[in-house]
Amino acid sequence: MGLWVLGVFFIFAVVCIGNAVGIEEKCDFFQGRWVRDETYPLYMTEECPFIEREFNCQKNGRLDDLYLKFRWQPNGCDLQRFDGQDFLEKFSGKSIMFVGDSLSRNQWQSLTCMLHSSVPQAQYNVTRVGDISIFTFMTDHVWMVRNFLSWFDNHVGSDCGPLLGGKLQAAYNNDYDVKVMLHRSVYLVDVVREKIGRVLKLDSINGGKIWKNIDMLIFNTWHWWNRRGPSQPWDYIQIGKKIVKDMDRMVAFQKALTTWANWVDFNIDPTKCMVFFQGVSPSHYNGTSWGEPSAKNCVREKVPLLVSTYPGGPPPALGVQKGVMSRMKKAVQFLDVTNLSLLRKDGHPSMYGLGGPTGMDCSHWCLSGVPDTWNEILYNLIL
């Protein structure tokens, strides 16, 4: 009898330990491959009436749609399909902010489309104040219902609850009061106009006061760091008291990221705010890097690379990002979307963007498209 009990205990212990190990193991959502899936995209372009022209490839004349029929499949696990209603319920009464350049706007608009298509009956409002765009789900309605319910409880009481209060409470439960915001800050650090001109200050981040008291922050920067000539939005670079006309851009990028990392370490309480940093969103202007030397850009690319690793390798900026992240004291989740996006040479607007055939865009992404996968992974990380 004693041996039998001991044997049962041993089996039970092994099962418990095995399950515990399984729970602790986490899937790497960023390692995998693209697979064809006819249930995608998550939404159609016509289901999102506010897609900006530069991302609306179908409306701009792109006729092929095979690029919409691919799903990211991680190695060894599955991504849970995006559930917009569940996402809104999780963030009811809260705020989300994307901070960065036009790639952040790409991802911000993707998320708002994913949410709107999930709850198309929900009222929304889009406003812009300076460099901040705010997409709000049902704020005014929530305020009205919330205040009426308070008055109802105080003046009418619970006796009439089933007749009227219950219906209003049900309506309130479908009102999310979620703000999905975008702060355009292409360098994250400050660009200040002074007597000598526009100064990019690598160790100053006064703009960060806007990021405080947000429930979830998603940062991104890289796209603008190599700009030169008329499109460069600064005249000088300042580090401490030293002002220079220019410097190694990768070094400048690393110093600015370090300033941002220090700001997060000093200002963010991880128990109150989730922080993500998005990896480099790649461009496709050189077919040699994906095995097509004759391709000078992404035009007429219709399918992704169906492999797990990009032939041309990752951009050097990705290493800089990971190096800075590794030295941070506060928990920041890295959205390592670079490799999966490198495989999507087919996902850019190309001649179907804002500039048309003369403004070849192989940097941004069509919507529906690749940024939806970034957000689907983001959703899985917060489950």
Q: What is the pLDDT of residues 185-224, one digit of tens each?
A: 999 999 999 999 999 999 999 999 999 999 999 999 999 9
Q: 260-275 pLDDT, tens per residue?
A: 999 999 999 999 999 9
Tokens matching residue 177: 């009061």
Positive or negative torsion for Cα 351, 352, 356, 361: negative
Q: How far is CA 278 from CA 218, 254, 335, in A?
A: 7, 15, 5
What is the structure's pLDDT at 381? 97
pLDDT category at 176 given cuts 50, 70, 90 is confident
Distance CA 64, CA 69 (A): 11
pLDDT at 146 over 80: no
Task: Characterize 31-68 residue by residue with b for buried, 16 or more Cβ atoms within 10 angstroms of its Cβ, and e for exposed.
Answer: ebbbeeeeebbbbebebbeebeebbbbbebebeeeebb
Query: Could you report how far apart the first and last alpha carbons of the chain are, in Å?
Result: 45
* DSSP codes of every residue in 206-270: GGGGGGTT-SEEEE---TTTT--GGG---SEEEETTEEES---HHHHHHHHHHHHHHHHHHH--T
pTM of the model: 0.86
The amino acid that residue 121 corresponds to is Q
Q: Which of 66-70, 92-96, 172-176, 338-342 has the lowest mean pLDDT?
A: 172-176
Contact indicator for 275, 214 with CB cutoff of 8 Å: no
pLDDT category at 332 given cuts 50, 70, 90 is very high
Distance CA 277, CA 373 (A): 15
The amino acid that residue 151 corresponds to is W
pLDDT at 284 over 90: yes
Average pLDDT, the chain: 88
Positive or negative torsion for Cα 314, 306, 302, 221: negative
* DSSP codes of every residue in 142-186: HHHHHHHHHHHHHHT-GGGIIIIIHHHHHHHHT---EEEEEEE-S
